[in-house]
Amino acid sequence: MPDIQPDKAAVAQQIRHLQDTLYVVNGKWKLPILVAIHQGNSRFRDIQRSVQGITTKVLSTELKALEQNKLVVRRVYDTSPPTVEYTTSSYCDTLQTMILEMIAWGKNHHDRIREE
């Protein structure tokens, strides 16, 4: 009667990976912000306008978190007043397929809910 169940260990491992991902992209705003930036909105106000309903404060703190996790790059240009530009990092590109899957599921889900 074996004590070690490799299946359970593998499942636990998968769950941990999932939790690692969630730790980085969790919350209402992070992924929407990434999409907005990725699609060409590099300025603070442009991002805010793209992501419906977000406030300056929340956007500001989320951008800092994303920068810390190296998903977003912030560049300040020495103009007057300073111009600030946000872009997604190349590391952020590794999230692409995941995000596309999430968008696809959301679309599908929305259609399904409407049908009810």
Partner DNA sequence: ATATCTGGCATCCTTTAGGTAACTGGTATA
Partner DNA sequence: TATACCAGTTACCTAAAGGATGCCAGATAT
CA atoms of 68 and 63, how far apart (whole Å): 9
**Residue number, 13 or 56, with CB nearest to a second copy:** 13
DSSP H or E segment with residue 12 = helix 6-25
For a second copy, the binding residues in 77-106 under the rule CB under 8 A are: 94-95, 97-99, 101-106
Judged by CB under 8 A, which stretch of 8-16, 60-68, 78-86 contacts a second copy?
8-16
Query: Is the distance from CB of 108 to CB of 43 less than 8 angstroms?
Result: no
> What is the amino acid identity at position 97?
T
For a second copy, the binding residues in 40-59 under the rule CB under 8 A are: 40-41, 50-52
DSSP H or E segment with residue 87 = strand 83-88
User: Cα separations (Å) of 35 from 40, 51, 71, 99, 112?
Assistant: 9, 9, 11, 8, 24
For DNA, the binding residues in 15-54 under the rule CB under 7 A are: 26-29, 43-46, 53-54
Binding site for DNA (CB under 7 A): 26-29, 43-46, 53-58, 60, 62, 74, 80-84, 86
Q: Where along the sequence are the contacts to a second copy (CB under 8 A)?
A: 7-8, 11-12, 14-22, 24, 26-28, 31-32, 35-36, 39-41, 50-52, 94-95, 97-99, 101-110
